[in-house]
Structure 1
Amino acid sequence: MNQAHWHLLLNHAPIFGALAGVLLLLAGLLGRREALLAAGLWALVLATAVGLPALLTGSGAAQVVKDMPRVSEALIHNHAQAARLGYYVLVGAATLALLCVLMLRQQAPRARQLAWLTLVVAALAYGLLARSANLGGQIHHPEIREGFGTPDEL
């Protein structure tokens, strides 16, 4: 297996992990269920851990596909920039999540407020990672590029 294969295997995990974290956090906060809240916080940490290998295999994947037909360096560059930004925001969410776990264990009065902030940052990370996924898909899936397959072309 080459870097592109590894990248494709790993790159969806942080996106869906961030989404799971957001949904679990929201359910835990709205329903005042500590188990769901904790699960959401740990989902963000896990998504970040799995996201690192996805990020690290990105440049190797780019080397594999860069000379393929209909693949442009601009598409690769845009995806890489979006992926880095999304991952760094996810790291921020995971850092807040770990701090929140500690505060919840100590029953700190501001723990729930930090959980809400974590939810906002995690939702932002999810949105950025989903955008990155769309840009990544455009690299080798021209059918999802804007203007491809319009009724006039069919």
Structure 2
Amino acid sequence: MNDAHLHLVVNHFPIIGTIFALGILVVGLFLKNNSVKNTAYVLFIFSAIFALISMQTGEGAEEMVEDFPGIGKAIIHEHEELAEKLAIVIYLLGGISALGIILNVKNHAKAKFISVVVVLIAVPAIYLATLVGTSGGEIRHTEIRDNYLNTNVNAQESTPRNSESESKNH
């Protein structure tokens, strides 16, 4: 398994894990259930671990695909910049979540405050995660790019025509 393959395997969890963790945390807050909140915190911590692995494998994945036709360094650079920002936010969520677990276990008065802080950080993290996921998908899935139709039409116009089809038109 090379870095590109490993990157593709792990890069979904920080995004999906953060979304699920936020949903679970909101339910835990609503139910006032520390076990449910701790489950969310564990998911945030796992998301941070997978974000670290994804960041570590991203460079190797970049080197493997950056010279593929239709990819370009600009689209990879945009994805990399967004991913670096998201990683910082998810690492922060993981760290605060570890603190949240400790405070919940100790029944500390600040435990609920930490839960609210995590929600307030997780909401923009999910928005950023959608940007990272979309920009990553656009690297190999040109059909989801905003300029797909223009790129596709231009590619078809520049493709040499089959002499058989040209003779039928004349």
1:107 — aligned with what? 107
2:11 — aligned with what? 11
2:41 aligned with 1:41: yes
- Alpha-carbon separation, structure 2, partners of 1:149 and 1:27: 42
TM-score, normalised to structure 1, is 0.93
- Alpha-carbon separation, structure 2, partners of 1:105 and 1:142: 48
Q: CA deviation at 1:149?
A: 3.3
2:80 aligned with 1:75: no
- Alpha-carbon separation, structure 2, partners of 1:52 and 1:144: 26
1:11-30: CA deviations, max 9, x gaps? 00111111111011000001
Structure with the bigger percentage of helix: 2
**Seq. identity, %:** 26
1:97 — aligned with what? 97
Q: CA deviation at 1:147?
A: 3.0
2:27 — aligned with what? 27
* Greater mean alpha carbon deviation, residues 106-115 or residues 77-86: 106-115
Q: Work out which of the two has the higher radius of gyration on C-alpha atoms and give 1 or 2.
A: 2
Q: CA deviation at 1:76?
A: 0.5
1:52 — aligned with what? 52
Q: CA deviation at 1:123?
A: 2.2
Contact persistence 1:18–1:123 (CA under 8 A) = no
Aligned AA for 2:39?
A
Contact persistence 1:7–1:61 (CA under 8 A) = yes
Aligned AA for 1:11?
N
- Long gaps (5+) in structure 1: none
TM-score, normalised to structure 2, is 0.84
2:62 — aligned with what? 62
* Greater mean alpha carbon deviation, residues 28-37 or residues 80-89: 28-37
1:149 — aligned with what? 149
Residues paired across the two proteins, number: 151
Contact persistence 1:87–1:129 (CA under 8 A) = no
- Alpha-carbon separation, structure 1, partners of 2:120 and 2:30: 14
- Alpha-carbon separation, structure 1, partners of 2:56 and 2:129: 15
- Alpha-carbon separation, structure 2, partners of 1:74 and 1:147: 14
Is the partner of 1:57 in helix, strand or coil?
Answer: helix
2:121 — aligned with what? 121
Is the partner of 1:79 in helix, strand or coil?
Answer: helix
